[in-house]
Amino acid sequence: MPLFRRWADLPPDLLCRIGDRLHSLQWYASARGACTGWRRALAPPSPSLLLVGPDLAKRCSLSVFLHCTNYHPSAASLPARRSFHLNLIRPGRTCVGSSNGWLALALADRPGVFSLFNPITAAEILLPPLLYGTGCVSKIVFAPRPAADDFVAAAICMNRLVYVTAGARRWAVLDPVRLASADQLADLLYQLDRTVYCITRYGDVHVLRLPERRRRKPIVVATEDPNPATPLFIRQPTRVPSYPAAQMSLRIQQQRRVPAPSTVEPTQPHLNAPATVEPLLSDEDYLPFDPATSFAPPYDKVSIFTGAKTMVFCEGNLYQIWRNASCAVTLQLPGGGFRRVEENEIFVLRYNPRRQPCWDVVTDLGGYSVFVGRNNTASMYAEGILGLNGNCVYWIGGSDGDEGMFFDMATRRSTPCLPAVGRSAICWYFLSDMVNKCNNSNGGNNLSEPDKS
């Protein structure tokens, strides 16, 4: 009998004991990809909470801690009910995004410079500098499977949309999006077709269509400059072979002069290809945005003070997720009576362009649950998966502000999803964000594959 058949026939209890000794997420995910039997026996590692520690919230701010020392994050898996080791994150880096097994990091000592880091393989890609509103980016979304010569990322910076593609020397800054008075951009959701959905604090939605990803030759910046000046430009990273994965290095150099954006031809190879922004709703019927035309009472009023908003796709439907991040509020209903909105109460609304108002509050997600935070918002079919609850919104907050929580849409209560671990939750971490749209019956060993047992 071939050896691989004997390995595949190992009893599940023995496989679980083997899995318990695999502390690295890389090795555990690889073991699950060995064959169908191993994949069924070992609990999926995703979704996980990205944790750092010890409890930073009681000692100092996360940015100060990261600036002072190296730290090893861990992925606390909800299905496996255990933590896995991840690779060291270098000092001076704070997490501003997560998607498909990668993290977006901000470099504290280099304002406007960000990197994409894979904590499983330790690969890092430094992005071109953002020369507008440095230090004002709280979240970055990006395309899956980035490479040094093939990436695209988007962010909100000072109420403007910015994006960058491979080969460009800096981020592109788009014109201000037309918003209602006092409204502002709140969050982004990246989709695989290079579409970014942008939601505002009032629930208005705009669609950013990014240029097609295309590989470009590395940009070589001259070093023989007798009079260097700002700004900094990043040279394309050079791959240095190492085990277990190729490491990235970069050199930051200076260039004498940068043409003003108005004088640069859009066809020049070092610029980003053009992107477009358009409202989700029709220009003619819905702009300027008015909550009363999009949300039925009393949610047209609730939309004003639930400033923590994000979006997610689930089974082909687009949803808004609202959370009342302020204090409890009591609303007077149009037909009489009152509606009290508790602190951290969450509302889920589904988009239906064929009805008006086009956003309708729902009481369940058909067995799915969603995960919101600094990560690109993800959805997952949760029923039947150990450690998960269906029809829930998983978020990060709680009494200490850095605890993994889940909001049950039936009971309308939030509960910690893990026992106290003395560590601070940063974001939800998935090996893939599109877990509800992929088929994993092939049992492959690709670390970027989603986990759905």
HSE-CB of 35 using CA atoms within 13 angstroms:
12
Q: Per residue in 275-302, pLDDT tens?
A: 999 999 865 554 578 888 899 999 999 9
Residue 3 resides in a domain:
yes
- For residues 18 and 58, state if they share a domain: no
- For residues 153 and 8, state if they share a domain: no
Judged on CB neighbours under 10 Å (0-12, 13-18, 19+), 213 is: middle
Residue 151: per-residue pLDDT: 95
- For residues 251 and 393, state if they share a domain: yes
- For residues 132 and 33, state if they share a domain: no
- For residues 414 and 290, state if they share a domain: yes
Q: Which residues pair with 200 in a beta bridge?
A: 185
Residues in the chain: 453
In terms of residue numbers, what domain contains 339?
43-429
Residue 299 resides in a domain:
yes
Residue 298: per-residue pLDDT: 92
Residue 26 resides in a domain:
yes
Residue 189 has a CB neighbour count (10 Å cut-off) of 22
- For residues 12 and 135, state if they share a domain: no
Largest distance between two CA atoms of the chain:
76
DSSP per-residue codes, 340-380: EE-TT-EEEEEE-TTSSSSEEE-S--TTEEEE-SSBPPEEE
Question: C-alpha 81: how far from its chain's center?
Answer: 22
HSE-CB of 164 using CA atoms within 13 angstroms:
29
Question: C-alpha 385: how far from its chain's center?
Answer: 22
Contact 450, 431 (CB under 8 A): yes
Residue 434 resides in a domain:
no
| Cα angle 392-398-404, degrees, rounded to a multiple of 5 | 55
Contact 379, 402 (CB under 8 A): no
- For residues 28 and 50, state if they share a domain: no
- For residues 4 and 145, state if they share a domain: no
Query: How many Å apart are CA 184 and CA 200, to the nearest integer?
Result: 5
Task: Give the burial string for 367-402 (b: 16+ CB within 10 Å, else e).
Answer: ebbbbbbbbbbbbbbbeebeebbbbbbbbbbbeeeb
Kindly state the DSSP code that residue 410 receives in the 8-state scheme.
T
Q: Per residue in 18-29, pLDDT tens?
A: 888 899 999 998
Residue 402 resides in a domain:
yes
Residue 86 resides in a domain:
yes
- For residues 16 and 93, state if they share a domain: no
Domain count, the chain: 2
Low-confidence ranges of the chain (pLDDT < 70): 1-6, 54-71, 213-269, 282-287, 420, 433-453
- For residues 35 and 49, state if they share a domain: no
- For residues 164 and 18, state if they share a domain: no
**β-strands 359-361, 346-351: how paired?**
antiparallel
- For residues 230 and 321, state if they share a domain: yes
Residue 72 resides in a domain:
yes
Residue 115 resides in a domain:
yes
Query: How many Å apart are CA 148 and CA 140, to the nearest integer?
Result: 17
